[in-house]
């Protein structure tokens, strides 16, 4: 009986061994083995458990700069080699992104807005409204608006403490400033900053939590009900703001005085060019960009300044030499070389958005590897910035930008047809906020906090974990610091 059972078992094991070997031979891309479907389950589980950013770094570290894994059963490439990354960014058949359709419907991004709009025709129709708002006259206004908003918020928060140090809930403070700037530039209606900032954070948590969830997750409404409510709450607020804007447009005597991004979208809806849902989502996305990513970027920059006094000294000396006693102006921006190098090095060393997601819309070849239509792509920019070109890639050092860096090696905003449409305005806003703050105050970390000992999450973006405690910084007036 034993010999009869052994023969079929040995035959089965032999066939299994041959099958695995054939599968591995066919898999020309580096990465975990398929192994009868166990590999895809493990890799997908790792992304759900670790977060997109952390899992991408794990697989690039283990298998190399081009890796094949699976997310939700779909073949996915993780790229951190500059040649492969630039190939994807510049090609027009990678203008779509990937994510669970039910999740995108929940947060309003399914075929709406531009961030995760995966309908190429609707995305192409929508993007020009953003491009118009984020360049030209809007871009020229940005610096003055950023300076004024930062100054007003500093005076409101610290006006009564001009001779003493003040402890500031820094992320909340930066989110209020960036939301105010976005409202002044793109919507221009009265709003409650604190309420909307809170709703934006909950919306982002929902977006991050749901994006890669399996379909079965959405079969049980009680599981995702609170996330659905968080997304709907922000959508409702934006809907109310748009109603206020429409009323202002109806009552305006001179329409050109209040024309802006929201106005153009409302007129497009009136003429049947955009749907109401798309208009609402576009306004939502342009309002969340500051409190969502830019505020965290500036927080990381202030922490780096606090940890590197020699860098702060160079920056402040340059600001004083260029601007003197007056506020920074558009004509000064090209002269603020140290400030720009600092911003670039901060985004390289401590990025907030350190990857971007794409989907292949047709068959292709990337660095010699065949890629099928429908393949998901993760461009691991944060890792790319630390494995190629830079002299001191693993440390924060302005020498990394002492000379011009070839564009292919440094892509904080991406390039090509789906690059960040707000990259120019983002740089102006960051310069305006930083220069206005540093002219007036020195910043120090609170209770010995450093970038190294702050707990961070690296999922949809790299950001501080705020679930346990608020992050604070100490602002000291420069006249007191100098004394």
Q: How far apart are CA 388 and CA 80, in angstroms?
A: 9
420 is in an annotated binding site: yes
Count CB neighbours of 453 within 10 A.
9
Quick check: 288 and 461 in contact, CB under 8 A? no
Q: Which residues are annotated as a binding site?
A: 420
Q: Which residues are annotated as a binding site for heme?
A: 420
């Amino acid at each position: 009986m034993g010999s009869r059972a052994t023969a079929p078992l040995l035959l089965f094991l032999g066939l299994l061994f041959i099958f695995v070997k054939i599968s591995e031979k066919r898999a020309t891309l580096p990465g975990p083995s398929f192994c009868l479907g166990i590999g895809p389950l493990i890799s997908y589980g790792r992304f759900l458990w670790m977060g997109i950013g952390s899992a991408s770094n794990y697989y690039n570290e283990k298998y190399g700069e081009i890796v094949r894994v699976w997310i939700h059963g779909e073949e996915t490439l993780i790229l951190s080699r500059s040649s492969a990354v630039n190939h994807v960014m510049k090609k027009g058949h990678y203008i779509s992104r990937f994510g669970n359709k039910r999740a995108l419907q929940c947060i309003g991004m399914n075929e709406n807005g531009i961030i995760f709009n995966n309908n190429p025709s609707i995305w192409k129709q929508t993007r020009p409204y953003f491009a118009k708002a984020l360049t030209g006259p809007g871009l020229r206004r940005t610096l003055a608006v950023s300076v004024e908003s930062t100054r007003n918020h500093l005076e409101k928060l610290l006006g009564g403490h001009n001779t003493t140090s003040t402890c500031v809930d820094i992320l909340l403070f930066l989110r209020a400033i960036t939301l105010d700037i976005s409202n002044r530039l793109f919507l221009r209606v009265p709003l409650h900053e604190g309420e909307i900032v809170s709703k934006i954070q909950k919306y982002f948590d929902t977006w991050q939590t749901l994006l890669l969830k399996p379909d079965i997750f959405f079969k049980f409404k009680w599981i995702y009900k609170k996330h659905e409510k968080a997304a709907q709450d922000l959508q409702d607020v934006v809907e109310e703001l748009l109603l206020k804007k429409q009323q202002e447009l109806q009552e305006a005597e001179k329409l050109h005085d209040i024309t802006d991004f929201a106005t153009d979208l409302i007129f497009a809806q009136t003429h049947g060019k955009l749907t109401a849902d798309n208009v609402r989502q576009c306004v939502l996305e342009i309002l969340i960009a500051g409190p969502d990513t830019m505020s965290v970027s500036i927080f990381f920059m202030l922490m780096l300044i606090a940890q590197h006094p020699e860098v702060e000294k160079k920056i402040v000396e340059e600001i004083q030499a260029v601007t003197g006693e007056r506020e920074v102006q558009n004509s000064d921006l090209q002269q603020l070389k140290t400030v720009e190098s600092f911003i670039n090095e901060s985004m390289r060393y401590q990025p907030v958005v350190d990857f971007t997601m794409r989907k292949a819309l047709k068959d292709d070849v990337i660095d010699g590897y065949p890629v099928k239509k429908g393949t998901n792509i993760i461009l691991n920019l944060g890792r790319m910035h630390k494995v190629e070109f830079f002299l001191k890639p693993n440390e924060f050092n302005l020498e990394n930008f002492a000379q011009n860096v070839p564009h292919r090696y440094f892509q904080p905003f991406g390039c090509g047809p789906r690059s960040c449409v707000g990259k120019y305005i983002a740089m102006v806003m960051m310069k305006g906020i930083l220069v206005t703050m540093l002219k007036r105050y020195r910043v120090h970390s609170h209770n010995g906090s450093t970038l190294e000992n702050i707990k961070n999450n690296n999922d949809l973006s790299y950001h501080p974990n705020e679930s346990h405690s608020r992050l604070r910084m100490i602002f000291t007036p420069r006249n007191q610091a100098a004394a």
